Amino acid sequence: MKLLQTCTALLVLLALVSPVFADEHAAEETPPPTKKYVEFTLNGTYADTKTVSTFGTSSTKTLRGLFKKLDMLKTDDEIAGIIFKIEGVSLGWAALQEIRTQLSEFQDAGKETIGYLESGGNAEYLLAATMDRIVLMPTGSLNLTGLRAEILFYKGLLDKLDIEADMLAMGKYKSGVEPYMRDGMSDAFRESMTALLDDLYAQLLNHLAESRDSITVENASDLINRGPFTAEEAKQEKLVDALQYYDELIAELKSASENEEVQVAKPSFERKRKVPDMNSFAGLMQLFSMLNPPQRAQAAGKNQIALIYASGPILPDIDSPFISMSAITPKELKKAFEKARTDGSVRAVVLRIDSPGGSALASDLIWREVMLTQREKPVVVSMGNVAASGGYYIAMAAGTIVAHPSTLTGSIGVFGGKLNLKGLYNKAGLTKEIISHGQNATLYSDYGGFTPTERERVEKMMKTVYADFVSKAAAGRDKSFDEIDEIAQGRVWTGKQAKALGLVDEIGGLDTALSIAKKQAGFAEDDKVNLIVLPKQRPFFEQFLEQMIEDTESSIQLPRHLTSSHPILSMLGTPSQHIITWLSLFGFKDGTQIVTILPYDILIR
């Protein structure tokens, strides 16, 4: 009996104690909560569209692709913070401002953002300054050195080659001919460039002041005048928050909380792809597949907005399949607008322009397509880094124009002429004998400059094109001819200035333009809208087959502007691109062109 009582007591005691041990065991096995950071690299150039190569689209990084990735990070509930490694950024001002806007939205999403710099210049710092804190490598530097404008003049080179640029310009500030006819800036060119730089510099100071509590507009200029800064100086001036090597930053994050396990990883969408084995046929096919991925099917439905990209110089149509997708041609844009105009499911069009202009004739053909489409459905223009000269020409028929504060726009003016190669021919031991009938028969000849009567005819044509440009801008902007003529004259304006002058309607980026188009199309704010992107980017083989089907008897010639996409010329930088574009406009059989184009780019370093 006593044994039974003892056993019963032990069982009761075990029953009472077991939950305590179970709870302690469960507490030991429950893992601590996880705090996840992802590492995301911002570097290089982000373009509007991918470059098309022989086999397919290149690995060019696009703004829309970047924004999709940033949206994924913002909406991922598992991510507590993002470490942005910012290095080697090369962007135009408008692209930089658009990325800054996207990065600023992380604060609204409640996610911690950290900008990590090994070293940085203006562009890298302006991106990092949007974040909660900035970390700089202890041996790095912060190269805040202000802005500068550099214009390369080619007259000396042309003189050495005995080439004469016989050019005329319409508009006091139309400076496109100056790099080829002068050794330095005219007073009007200098005035225009100084005004642009003044406005962009003011925007730089405002960006610094709005991003860092320790900086005001008043002391931002003083800081820049004292730059560049060593890492220690940048820390003392409160330009950065900490000096750490990257591994030290990671270690600090992991040790910051004893109750959480901190993980730092790459985003899920940045999985590395294995390099195919080039020694096998299967590997070659895999490489081809990587270079030319299958196109995603466009979403069907009635709620559609067409997004049409116009990137690069505006060049005439050439009957060839070799046209580089970095150029804008009437043929490609006409197809895009016809599809958007005739497709009943497309309710509005957004035209994204990043172009310094080019051929006046080609610009007018594209303007016509924009105007015809605007009659049928809303067209909203989104201006990128530059939409000036011909870039503005193709925009001005749209119902609404949106630009960034730093977009280069306006430049309503034209210039024209030809390259006189007689001296170069003679230097090479070549001569030409010309027999002509007609007072102006040699107008298009490259073996001599304009005669007085030829010059008179070219000037007359240019005045007509300029008057047409101003008239169409006045009609599109609902202003008088004289009102537009006063702010035209080839003068380049920033988007901020253009808004004050009435050349653009709204300040903002592509998202702003899409939002306006959605509203003008009659969509409710919460309606889901599908984008169809035009024109479709096609690899070389597809263009080649299309051309062969359209005209099997035509001879295929390689146009000069194909070379603008050559990787070697890309390495040479902006000057080579301007030269190639110039040759594309003035190097044809009939080499006299009337053009409207900017002779320079502005990048932030």
Asked whether residue 241 falls in the same domain as residue 306, the answer is no
Bridge-partner residues for 441, per DSSP?
Answer: none
Total domain count for the chain? 2
Name the band, by pLDDT with cuts 50, 70 and 90, for residue 297: very low
CA distances from residue 134 to 235, 242, 323 in whole angstroms, order as listed:
10, 7, 44
Asked whether residue 446 falls in the same domain as residue 586, the answer is yes
Asked whether residue 305 falls in the same domain as residue 252, the answer is no
DSSP annotation of 279: T
Strands 141-142 and 229-230 turn out to be antiparallel
Among the listed ranges 368-377, 388-397, 469-478, 535-544, which one has the minimum average pLDDT value? 535-544
The reply to whether 568 falls in a domain is: yes
Asked whether residue 57 falls in the same domain as residue 139, the answer is yes
Bridge-partner residues for 36, per DSSP?
Answer: 79, 263
The reply to whether 451 falls in a domain is: yes
Higher pLDDT, 264 or 574: 264
The reply to whether 131 falls in a domain is: yes
Query: What per-residue confidence (pLDDT) applies to 536?
Result: 73
- 201, 326, 222, 125: which is closest to 602 by C-alpha? 201
- 338, 308, 340, 314: which is closest to 326 by C-alpha? 314
- 326, 327, 310, 356: which is closest to 492 by C-alpha? 356
Residue with tokens 């309710």: 347
Query: What per-residue confidence (pLDDT) applies to 596?
Result: 72
Cβ contact 454:203 at 8 Å: no
Asked whether residue 472 falls in the same domain as residue 590, the answer is yes
Per-residue pLDDT at 118 exceeds 60 = yes
> Which residues, 6 or more positions from 407, have their beta carbon under 8 angstroms from its beta carbon?
93, 94, 383, 384, 385, 386, 387, 494, 495, 498, 504
The reply to whether 178 falls in a domain is: no
Instruction: Print burial letters for 92-108: b (CB count within 10 Å at least 16), e (below 16).
Output: bbbbbbbbbbbbeebee
Burial of 396 (0-12, 13-18, 19+ CB in 10 A): buried
Higher pLDDT, 404 or 574: 404
The reply to whether 214 falls in a domain is: no
Query: What per-residue confidence (pLDDT) applies to 176?
Result: 83
Among the listed ranges 3-12, 156-165, 337-346, 449-458, which one has the minimum average pLDDT value? 3-12
Residue with tokens 């911002």: 42
Asked whether residue 484 falls in the same domain as residue 560, the answer is yes
The reply to whether 416 falls in a domain is: yes
CA distance 78 to 70: 14
Query: What per-residue confidence (pLDDT) applies to 35?
Result: 83
Asked whether residue 237 falls in the same domain as residue 337, the answer is no
Instruction: Print burial letters for 57-91: b (CB count within 10 Å at least 16), e (below 16).
Output: bbebebbbebbebbeebbebeebbbbbbebeebeb
Largest Cα separation within the chain, whole Å, is 139
Note down the domain range covering 536: 299-430+438-604
Asked whether residue 245 falls in the same domain as residue 361, the answer is no
CA distance 601 to 238: 32
Q: Is 389 marked active-site?
A: yes
Per-residue pLDDT at 250 exceeds 90 = yes
Bridge-partner residues for 44, per DSSP?
Answer: 89
Name the band, by pLDDT with cuts 50, 70 and 90, for residue 322: very low
- The pair of three-digit structure tokens given for residue 267, joined into one six-digit string: 């985003």
Cβ contact 491:411 at 8 Å: yes
The reply to whether 414 falls in a domain is: yes
Find the catalytic residue in 53, 141, 175, 389. Answer: 389
Higher pLDDT, 276 or 165: 165
Strands 79-89 and 34-44 turn out to be parallel
CA distance 574 to 580: 10
- pLDDT (tens digit, 9 = 90+) per residue, 191-232? 999 999 999 999 999 999 999 988 999 899 999 999 899 999
The reply to whether 51 falls in a domain is: yes
- In this structure, the dihedral spanned by the alpha carbons of residues 363, 368, 369 and 374, taken in order and rounded to 10 degrees, is 120
Region 45-71: mean pLDDT is 76
What share of the chain has pLDDT > 70, as a percent?
76
CA distance 350 to 516: 9
Name the band, by pLDDT with cuts 50, 70 and 90, for residue 271: low
- 173, 83, 75, 74: which is closest to 133 by C-alpha? 83
- The pair of three-digit structure tokens given for residue 155, joined into one six-digit string: 């007259």
What share of the chain has pLDDT > 90, as a percent?
53
The pTM assigned to this predicted structure is 0.82
Higher pLDDT, 244 or 260: 244
Rounded to 5 degrees, what are φ and ψ at 325? Answer: -75, 0
CA distance 564 to 90: 19
CA distance 493 to 409: 5
SS (H, E, C) 543-570: HHHHHHHHCCCCCCCCCHHHHHHCHHHH
Instruction: Print burial letters for 491-526: b (CB count within 10 Å at least 16), e (below 16).
Output: bbbbbbbbbebebbbbbbbbebbbbbbbebbebeee
Per-residue pLDDT at 258 exceeds 60 = yes
> Which residues, 6 or more positions from 326, have their beta carbon under 8 angstroms from its beta carbon?
51, 311, 312, 564, 565
Bridge-partner residues for 314, per DSSP?
Answer: 328, 358
Region 272-282: mean pLDDT is 58
Asked whether residue 259 falls in the same domain as residue 314, the answer is no
Name the band, by pLDDT with cuts 50, 70 and 90, for residue 109: confident
Name the band, by pLDDT with cuts 50, 70 and 90, for residue 555: very low
CA distance 390 to 196: 19
CA distance 332 to 183: 37
Beta strands in 229-372 (DSSP E): 229-230, 242-243, 261-265, 304-311, 346-355, 357-359
- 347, 348, 262, 342: which is closest to 79 by C-alpha? 262
- pLDDT (tens digit, 9 = 90+) per residue, 29-50? 666 778 899 999 999 889 888 7
DSSP 26-68: HHHHSPPPEEEEEEEEEEE-EESSPPB-SSSB---EEHHHHHH
Asked whether residue 346 falls in the same domain as residue 236, the answer is no
Asked whether residue 249 falls in the same domain as residue 391, the answer is no
Query: What per-residue confidence (pLDDT) applies to 602?
Result: 61
- What CATH number should be reported for the domain holding residue 348? 3.90.226.10
Region 148-173: mean pLDDT is 90
- pLDDT (tens digit, 9 = 90+) per residue, 497-549? 999 999 999 999 999 999 999 999 999 888 888 999 998 765 544 444 444 44
Q: How many angstroms separate the first and last alpha carbons of the chain?
A: 94
Higher pLDDT, 562 or 106: 106
Per-residue pLDDT at 346 exceeds 90 = yes
Helix, strand, coil shares of the chain, percent, nearest 5, are 45, 20, 35
CA distance 482 to 460: 20
CA 103 to chain centre: 17
- pLDDT (tens digit, 9 = 90+) per residue, 573-600? 455 555 555 555 655 445 556 777 766 6
Query: What per-residue confidence (pLDDT) applies to 552?
Result: 42
Asked whether residue 481 falls in the same domain as residue 599, the answer is yes
